[in-house]
Structure 1
Amino acid sequence: MPTEKKRIQKDIVIIGAGMAGLTAALYAGRMNLSVLVLENALVGGQIANATGIENYPGLPNVAGKDLIATVQQQAESFGAVVDEFDMIEKVSLQEDRKIVETESCIYEAGSVIIASGMERRKLPLPEERKYAGKGVHYCELCDGHLYQDKVIAVMGGGNAAVDAANFLTKYAKKLYLLHRSKLRADESAQEKLRSNEKVEILLETEVTALKGEKRLESVEVLDKATGEKKELAIDGIFVNIGVTPNTALFQADIKLAEDGRIVAGEDCRTNIPGVFAAGDVRHKEVRQLTTAAADGTIAAILAEKYLAQIRKGK
C-alpha cells in the first residue's frame, strides 16, 4: 500500500521562486509567518539567466543569479523555506484552509500566493521533439556549458533572447542570433551583442526546419526579404520565442484572462479570498523585475492582513 503523505501546516504557501515569490517570502518571513516556497524549476525563474541587469534601482549592473541568490538568502534569514525539488501535483484553493499537494507532502495553508511565472514557448516545428535535449534547448543557464567551442544559434528578438545570446558567447566558437523581424531588446544589450566578433545577427529570418541524424546538426532558414533558403551548420539552438503562463494547476479554481494569466488587480487579490497572484503570472500591462518585486511585497502584506482577519473572526 502507498505510504500516506505527511500533512504540514503553514501560514502561507508561495508557489514559485522568482523575484515575486522570493520577495513575498522575504516580507512574509519578516512578519513572523511560517512560509514555504515551492519551485519546480530553477530558483529565480527567467531572470536567473540574465547576465547583466542594469535597470534595478540601486544596483547599476548585477547578474540575475546573484540578485536572486541575495533575495533568497534574505528570505531564508527570516525563516522562509525554499523547496525546489518537490513537484506540485494538485491544489485545492476554495476552502478556508488551502491545500497544496506535492509528490511527498500535503500542505495546508491559510493563504496561498501564486507566483508561478511563465515558461518558454516551444519551437513550433514537427522535429522539435526529436531534437529536444539533443540540440534544441530552452535554458541557456542549464545547458550552455554543453556547447564549449561549438556553433550555437539563439532564436528570438526580445530581452530574454539577446540576454541568452550574450551569456552563450562565453561558450560559443560562433553564435547566430535568428529573428523573424526586428530586435525588441534593450539597446544596451543589443550593442553588447553586436560588438562581439563571434556573433552574426540574421534578422527577417525564420527557422523552417531542423536537420540531423541522432542529434541536431543544422537548421534550414528562410530569408523573408529575398525568399532564399539556406542551411546553417550548428551544434545547438536555444529558443526564446515567447512565454506561456504557468497556470494549468489553477484553472479549476482561479479566474484567468484570455492570455492565460491570472486575473488580479494591483492589490494582487484573485477571485478567491486568501489567494493572491504576483509577478508575470498576473494579468497586467507592465511586467518588469521591479513590478514583480512590488507584487510580491503587496501580496505578502495583504496575505498577512487576511490571516489576521481570519484569526480575529475565530
Structure 2
Amino acid sequence: MDLQIALMLGQDGVVNGAIYALMALALVLVFSVTRIIFIPQGEFVSYAALSMAALQTGHLPAVIWMVVGLALITLIVEGWRQLRGLQVDWKATLVWTVLFPLLAAGLIFGLRPSSQWGQALAVLALITPMGPLLYRLTFRPLAHTTVLMLLIVSVALHGVMVGLGLFFFGAEGSRTTPFLDARWDLGGLPVTGQSVVVLVATALLLVVMYLFFERSIVGKALRATAINRVGARLMGVPTELAGDLSFALAALIGAICGILIAPITTIYYDTGFLIGLKGFVAGIIGGLASYPMAVVGALVVGQLESFSSFWASAFKEVLVFTFIIPVLWWFSLRTHHVEDEE
C-alpha cells in the first residue's frame, strides 16, 4: 500500500463514516427518548433510495401505499382510543396521518417533480411520517414494557419491512444520478462531487441537530425526556409526542442518508440493514447516549471498513462487527449494573 492508496481508502472511510454518523445519531436519539433499539432504521435508507430511483425513472414509488395504509390504520386506532376515554392529541395525529401523506401525494401525483431536488423533497415528505406512524402502531402500546420486549418487536418489525421492501421494489438494485456530477484531482487523489455533497450535507445536518437540541424548546423537551422520562412528564412534557418526534427525526435522517448514498452505490431492498447495523456499532461506541462519541465511533467504523476492504475484503464485515466486542468489554469494566427500572 502506497500513500495514494491510503489517501483514497481514507477518503472512502470518511464518506462512509459520515453516513454511519447520521445513522448512529438517529439510533441514539430513538433509544435515549424511547428505550427502543430501532433495528429497522436502515429500512428508511433503502425505502428512500429506491423511491428516489423510482421517481427518476418515471415510476410511482409503491411505498406511498404503505404510508397511506399506515395512516388509515393509525386514524382508526386513535379513534378507538378516543372512544375508550383515552386522551388523544388530534393535532399531532392529523399532522402524521393527513398532512404529510397529502403533501407527499401532492408532490408525487400532482407536481410530478422532474428536478432532482423536487424528487428529494417528495421522498423526504413520503418517508418522514413512516417513523411516527410505526411508533404509534407498534411501540407506543408497549411503551412501559422491558427493553428486551421492545427489541424483540423491533426485530420483528425489521423482518416485516424487509419483506415489504422486496414486494414494493423487487430484488433488483437501483442507483440514482449524483447531485453534483463533477470530479477533481487533488494531488493525485480523485474526489467526486457526490462525496463532497455527502460530507457537506452531513456537516450541515449535524449543525442543525446541535442547534435544535441546544436552542429550541422542542429539542430541550426531547433532551429532558431522554434524561428522565418520568420527571419530564411531571414537568408537563408530552412524552408520547416526544416519541413521535424522535421517530420522525429518525425517519428523516434515514431518508436523507438514502438520498445521499444512492448515487454512490447500488441499493437493494435489504441494503439498509447492514448500513443500520454499522450505525449501531458506532452508536454503541457512544454508549447509545453520547452524540459526539457516536460521531467519532462512526468515523472509526468507516475507516476500519475501508482499510479492511483492502487488506481482507472477504472479512471486512466480520472485522467491523467484531469491533463491538472490545468496546462492550471496556464498558462492562467501567460501568456498574443498573436496574432496568432506573
- TM tier relative to shorter chain: under 0.3
* Higher share of residues assigned helix: 2
* Higher share of residues assigned strand: 1
Per chain length, whose mean CA-contact separation is higher, i.e. which structure has more relative contact order (CA < 8 Å, sep 6+)?
2
TM-score after normalising by structure 2: 0.24
TM-score after normalising by structure 1: 0.26
